[in-house]
Amino acid sequence: MKVIKNRKKIKRILKGSKSLSFIPTMGSLHNGHISLIKKAKRDKNKIIVSIFVNPKQFKNNRDYKSYPRNIYKDLNLLKKHKIDFVFLPSIKDIYSYKTKNKIYLNKFSKTLCGKYRPGHFEGVIDVVNRLVEIINPKKIYLGKKDFQQLILIKKHFSKNNIKIKIIECNTYRDSFGLAESSRNKSLSDNQLDIARKVAKILKKNKIIIKRNFGNYKLNNLKRQIKSLGLNKIEYLKLLNLKTLKYPKINEKFNIFIAYYLGKTRLIDNV
């Protein structure tokens, strides 16, 4: 496993590589990341994982500094899974050059997380665009837990005619049904228990909503979840995954949620 910390060096090392599978991360790796790696391995390309905590997608400097980090553990985990390359760029490496592609932010960025985190998706699209310009992979692997992010990256790639195949990967959940997230590591045991109950309630209520779509009141679900001891529910919405709008009867949909346990913000879609 080669660990590269310099933009110019990685471009030199990867020059001529035509079949790279790329997994962008902010580190603090968990089973969700490992599931992406396992899926990439099935494609039998060389795999590169980046670890970069992107300051431009955080609401403030406090959130950026408090994001969980453990680079030593991350590198050992990637070595165990026989990753070919790990890219550990500095902020200067990422942001000190002019990109070829102009950032495209679809109007879908204004809802869900985008409504409550101004500038977040501009930061996400910018850094992913920069990383793929540096690495030039054949494929990029992205999880469906961050569904809004996934859609916005797809629309940016399409708008700029970026010929990199996006591989959508199912959300990896623990044995209790909770979506794996680096932020889960910031939860106390009691908060972790609450988060798992939220996931269970969402799954159960999705079935109920399907059966009683016209009569179901989403506020009842909101009250049920809030009573578990959440500090705040930022949003709770139903969305058709294709139209990105409120679903009509008999249409497939997911329940989208963002909520706080203490100071930790969690998202999910079920």
CATH says 2-169 is which class? alpha beta
| Predicted pLDDT at 59 | 85
* φ, ψ (nearest 5 deg) of residue 258: -135, 130
pLDDT tens, residue by residue, 18-43: 899 999 999 999 999 999 999 999 98
pLDDT tens, residue by residue, 84-98: 999 999 999 999 999
Sequence-ordered alpha helix ranges (H) in 105-213 = 113-116, 120-135, 147-159, 189-211
For residues 239 and 79, give the distance between their C-alpha atoms in angstroms, rounded to a whole number. Answer: 39
Q: Label residues 108-147 b or e (16+ Cβ within 10 Å = b).
A: bbebbbbeebeebbbbbbbbbbbbbebbbbbbbbbbbbbb
For residues 54 and 246, give the distance between their C-alpha atoms in angstroms, rounded to a whole number. Answer: 31
Over range 44-67, report the average pLDDT: 93
Q: Could you give the percent of the chain with pLDDT greater than 90?
A: 94
Residue where the block lists tokens 């949909």 = 253
Q: Label residues 43-69 b or e (16+ Cβ within 10 Å = b).
A: eebbbbbbbbbbbbbbeeeeeeeebee
- Identify the H or E element spanning 62: helix 61-66
Closest CA to 167 of 6, 41, 67: 41
Over range 41-61, report the average pLDDT: 94
Q: What is the pTM of this model?
A: 0.96
Over range 186-197, report the average pLDDT: 97
Domain residue limits, the chain: 2-169, 182-269
Q: Are 258 and 120 in contact (CB under 8 A)?
A: no
CATH topology identical between 2-169 and 182-269 = no
| Predicted pLDDT at 18 | 80
Band (pLDDT 50/70/90 cuts) for residue 182 is very high
From residue 141, alpha-carbon distances to 35, 116, 144, 154, 228 in Å are 10, 26, 10, 12, 34
Closest CA to 166 of 57, 39, 251: 39
Question: CB neighbours (10 Å) of residue 151?
Answer: 18
| Predicted pLDDT at 29 | 97
Residues noted as catalytic: 33
Average pLDDT, the chain: 96
For residues 35 and 213, give the distance between their C-alpha atoms in angstroms, rounded to a whole number. Answer: 33
- DSSP-derived pairing of the beta strands 46-51 and 85-87: parallel
Band (pLDDT 50/70/90 cuts) for residue 137 is very high
Identify the CATH assignment for 182-269 out of 3.30.1300.10, 3.30.200.20, 3.50.50.60, 3.30.43.10.
3.30.1300.10
